[in-house]
Each structure stands twice: as structure tokens, then as C-alpha cells.
Chains A and B, each alone.
Chain A
Amino acid sequence: GALVYQYPRRTICKSGTSMRMECQAVGFQATSVAWYRQSPQKTFELIALSTVNSAIKYEQNFTQEKFPISHPNLSFSSMTVLNAYLEDRGLYLCGARASQNTLYFGAGTRLSVL
């Protein structure tokens, strides 16, 4: 089956520092990866859509300068949160696209900022 692993599961960083999170698709080739942030109120914000060998498309209010993404192959992607502050807290989810354009999600990386 299609599995997506994200790590770390939880991370705490000091305000103004950066942290990197990783996403790995197992059992399938992910033609694209969508990074989301889920707020404490449980709503989803799309950060960016990344397709291998194509430009990464960031949504409004999210930039490459703040959330740089690496997507070197069909099974791995990483995203960094630079200069994290309180408003960056949340559950960061990686959705990897499999057949029939279905996104499979990992368990997420929960970011806390002190």
C-alpha cells in the first residue's frame, strides 16, 4: 500500500531559529508532493506544491525564502521553516500524490516554537 513517512514527528525550536522536516513515500512513486500546515483549529493551509523537475509553486502568504523545499526524486521531499516564530506553529503535513491524483498523507511534523 501507499505509505508516507514524516520525521521528526515533533520538534521544538527557539524563536528565530530554523528546522527541517522530511517526507518519504514508500511503496509508490510520488509524482508530486503538497505541503500543508494544519492550524490548531484544524483547518488546512496549502503551503506549496512541488513536482519533480518542475518549479515549486508556493501559495499566497508562503514564500520560498521562508519555506524552502527540496524535492530531488520521486520518493523524498524536505521542507525547512526558516526563522520560526509563534505564528509558524502547527502540524506540517506532506501529501504525496499517487495514482488517480490521490494524495496520501504522513502523520505530520508538529512544530512548537518557544
Chain B
Amino acid sequence: GDSVTQTEGQVALSEEDFLTIHCNYSASGYPALFWYVQYPGEGPQFLFRASRDKEKGSSRGFEATYDKGTTSFHLRKASVQESDSAVYYCALGTQGKLIFGQGTKLSIKP
């Protein structure tokens, strides 16, 4: 069945560091791919999506490019801030529902 894998369970960075969170998917065709962010005590917030090969999604300085060749949708940000501390989820959209990855907890040291 369809699935999403996030390699990193936790990432610890300092402010202004470069961020990469890896996301790979397994699915047939061209599923839509999403990134969500979840802060403590809240539900997941939609960051952005992409639905075609080579399409780039972006929001709030975060970006990811849909790569069908490597079945990836890695999240990147050039310079993280302490306020970016949260759990990030990659997700695959299929048949009206989302399949989530395991999540990556991002901690930023001031």
C-alpha cells in the first residue's frame, strides 16, 4: 500500500542553521504531497503542497520539490529560527485522505 517515510525522528539545530528533513514516499501515479507542522497542543497546520513532478511548494521560508524520480519531497529551510521548533509531518494524499509520515521533531537552540 501507499506509504510515507521520514528518515529523521529528531533534528536539533542552532538558529540560522540550514534545515533538511527527508521524506520519501511509495505510491502509484502522481499523488499529491504535503508538509504539515504541529505545535504543542494544536492540530497539524498545512504548510504547502505539490502535485506534479518538479513542482516546488513553499511557505514561511520552507520549501520542498516534488521529485518523482527519487520519490522524495524533502523539506528545506535556509535559516531556522527558534519559533520553528515543532513536529513536521510529510503526507501523501490519496482518495480524499492523507497518509502521514512518522514525524520529525525539530528543536532549535537559541
Contacts and interface: CB of A to CB of B under 8 A. Distances in A.
A46 interface: yes
Interface in B66-110: 87, 89, 93, 95-100, 102-103
A93 B43 CA distance: 7
B100 A32 contact: no
Contacts of A101: 32, 93, 96
Nearest to B98: A103
Contacts, number: 52
Contact of B100 (A6, A44, A107): A44
B87 A95 contact: no
Interface residues of B, number: 22
A107 B49 contact: no
A61 interface: no
Chain B contact residues: helix, strand, loop or mixed = strand
Given A42-B87, A101-B32, A104-B46, A32 B41 contact: no
Given A42-B87, A102-B49, A107 B43 contact: yes
B53 to A, nearest CB: 17
A5 to B, nearest CB: 10
B73 to A, nearest CB: 15
A49 interface: yes
A51 interface: yes
A32 B45 contact: no
B102 A43 contact: yes
Contact of B41 (A49, A95, A102, A107): A107
Contacts of B46: 102-105
A49 B103 contact: no
A101 B91 CA distance: 12
Interface of A: 4, 6, 32, 34, 42-44, 46, 49, 51, 91, 93, 95, 97, 100-108
